[in-house]
């Protein structure tokens, strides 16, 4: 395999990440499913029938580099557009150029394309005038025009592993050495840079480059203090409006539901470090306190609500402890989904069935003439020695149709309530399990 870093032109001011762009798929680090022999991308290149491709994945994992490499392998001119700046006129000019010479049109942030832009571009591709690759950090199935999705092959890229990121850094070190700058990194420092890159090769190389700047023609012994300085003003690798937002909050929620306190703290830290609105985090904890814990431990909701209120009075950074307290309570509490499943089933019934009449004995009697209408006959449990009266409350609704206890063997509130009502009424409480 050729050295990736020989690919870049020898311009002294060219960013290191740009100098190391691969010339072919063989030189791409990571993405083995995409670049392997026999992959769909390889087969399309070999057949010279690329068509429309959408590369989907987080920033800095090589979408643009792969597109350029594909263009080189196809022997086609590479023309790059940015979705926010390119108009229909620009696309049609490229169509005219494509009729003269083979082109690969690359659109960065293709999720920002309008339906009109996408239609014009697709017309070019469907006619075979040019090949097209789009790149997006957003889920293409929700963020792209449907016509573009239906006519394109979606290829998902994964964040680069720490081991592959270390290889990226090794190549960067060789490139710098070729330019006369010997950067000395310990194995631990290299691992740190690889890990803190968050799977973003561009970020790792930018960090390496910042350590080398100003040391041309000499050796650089990188210290931990130098690394800390490099990261002090580094941007946080978290998209608060894209897939990362939804994926990380999903992992946080499912970890609370699954009762894994270490995972809960990790994903909570990711949300806090990424700059998520702490009130949004608090709202999610409150929802899960009822959705996942519910009747198993009513105090979980109390903790979650108290945490949201305390957050408004305290604020970050101290409020991170309060959020941790509430999230851990939800994670460590026994679980019951009966409140969530019960109201969902009842709402579905109300939306799809004729409304049931209110039984006469449950209707309002606080007005003159109610008795003449037949309203009345309600018996209050407070006037009964048992504190319970056997009377219908929703005729036609069989027990267990909506509410089914989620109590297991643990002595939760719901389990204690089941035992109480079964002793009192002599009837089994409908249960989802057991």
173-209 per-position pLDDT tens digit = 888 888 888 888 888 888 888 887 777 888 888 888 8
| Predicted pLDDT at 217 | 60
| Predicted pLDDT at 348 | 92
Q: pTM for the full model?
A: 0.60
| Predicted pLDDT at 268 | 93
| Predicted pLDDT at 91 | 81
Q: Taking 80 as the threshold, does the pLDDT of residue 172 lie above it?
A: yes
Q: Taking 80 as the threshold, does the pLDDT of residue 265 lie above it?
A: yes
Long-range contacts of 273-277 (CB under 8 A, 24+ apart): 273/236, 273/238, 274/236, 274/237, 274/238, 274/240, 274/244, 274/248, 275/236, 275/238, 275/240, 276/238, 276/240, 276/245, 276/249
Q: How far apart (Å, rounded) are the C-alpha atoms in residues 55 and 53? A: 7
| Predicted pLDDT at 79 | 86
pLDDT per residue as tens digits for the range 17-68: 788 888 888 888 888 888 888 889 999 988 888 888 999 987 778 888 889 8
Over its C-alpha atoms, the chain yields an Rg (Å, rounded) of 31
Band of the pLDDT at 216, cuts 50, 70, 90?
low
| Predicted pLDDT at 10 | 42
Q: How far apart (Å, rounded) are the C-alpha atoms in residues 54 and 152? A: 6
**Are 400 and 430 contacting, i.e. CB atoms less than 8 angstroms apart?**
yes
| Predicted pLDDT at 390 | 83
Q: How far apart (Å, rounded) are the C-alpha atoms in residues 290 and 330? A: 9
| Predicted pLDDT at 215 | 65
Q: Taking 50 as the threshold, does the pLDDT of residue 298 lie above it?
A: yes
Report the candidate in 284, 241, 248, 240 with the shortest Cα–Cα distance to residue 267: 248
Q: Taking 50 as the threshold, does the pLDDT of residue 7 lie above it?
A: no
Average pLDDT, the chain: 83
Q: Taking 70 as the threshold, does the pLDDT of residue 73 lie above it?
A: yes
Q: What does the pLDDT average to over 338-365?
A: 86
Q: How far apart (Å, rounded) are the C-alpha atoms in residues 169 and 190? A: 7
Q: What does the pLDDT average to over 257-264?
A: 88
Q: Taking 50 as the threshold, does the pLDDT of residue 5 lie above it?
A: no
Pairing of strands 219-221, 131-136: unpaired
Candidate ranges 163-167, 320-324, 421-425; pick with highest mean pLDDT: 320-324
Neighbours of 128 (CB within 10 A): 10
* Percent of the chain whose pLDDT exceeds 70: 92
């Amino acid at each position: 395999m050729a050295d990736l870093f020989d690919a870049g032109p020898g311009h002294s001011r060219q960013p290191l990440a740009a100098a190391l762009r691969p010339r072919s798929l063989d030189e791409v680090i990571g993405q083995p499913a995409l670049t392997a022999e026999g992959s769909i991308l390889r087969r399309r290149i070999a057949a010279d029938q690329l068509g429309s491709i959408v590369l989907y994945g987080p920033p800095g994992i090589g979408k643009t580099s792969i597109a350029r490499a594909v263009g080189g392998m196809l022997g086609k001119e590479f023309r790059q557009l940015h979705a926010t700046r390119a108009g229909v006129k620009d696309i049609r000019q490229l169509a005219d150029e494509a009729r003269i010479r083979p082109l690969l049109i690359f659109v960065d942030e293709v999720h920002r394309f309008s339906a009109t832009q996408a239609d014009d571009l697709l017309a070019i591709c469907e006619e075979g005038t040019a090949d097209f690759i789009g790149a997006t950090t957003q889920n293409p199935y929700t963020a792209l025009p449907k016509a573009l999705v239906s006519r394109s092959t979606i290829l998902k890229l994964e964040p680069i592993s720490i081991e592959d990121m270390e290889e990226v850094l090794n190549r960067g070190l060789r490139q710098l050495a070729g330019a006369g700058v010997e950067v000395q990194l310990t194995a631990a420092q290299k691992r740190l840079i690889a890990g803190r890159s968050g799977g973003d090769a561009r970020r790792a190389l930018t960090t390496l480059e910042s350590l080398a700047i100003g040391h041309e023609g000499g050796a650089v012994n990188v210290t931990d203090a130098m690394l800390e300085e490099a990261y002090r003003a580094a941007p946080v690798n978290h998209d608060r409006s894209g897939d990362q937002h939804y994926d990380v909050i999903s992992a946080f929620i499912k970890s609370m539901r699954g009762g894994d306190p270490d995972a809960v703290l990790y994903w909570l830290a990711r949300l806090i470090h990424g700059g998520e609105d702490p009130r949004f985090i608090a709202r999610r904890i409150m929802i899960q306190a009822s959705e996942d814990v519910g009747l198993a431990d009513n105090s979980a909701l109390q903790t979650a609500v108290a945490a949201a209120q305390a957050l408004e009075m305290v604020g970050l950074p101290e409020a991170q402890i309060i959020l941790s307290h509430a999230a851990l309570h939800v994670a460590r509490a026994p679980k019951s989904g009966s409140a969530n499943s019960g109201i969902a089933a009842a709402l579905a019934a109300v939306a799809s069935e004729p409304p049931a009449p209110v039984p006469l004995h449950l209707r309002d009697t606080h007005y003159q003439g109610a008795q003449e209408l037949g309203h009345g006959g309600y018996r209050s449990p407070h006037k009964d020695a048992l504190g319970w009266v056997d009377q219908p409350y929703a005729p036609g609704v069989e027990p267990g149709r909506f509410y089914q206890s989620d109590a297991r063997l643990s002595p939760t509130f719901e389990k204690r309530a089941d035992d109480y009502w079964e002793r009192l009424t002599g009837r089994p409480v409908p249960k989802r399990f057991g």
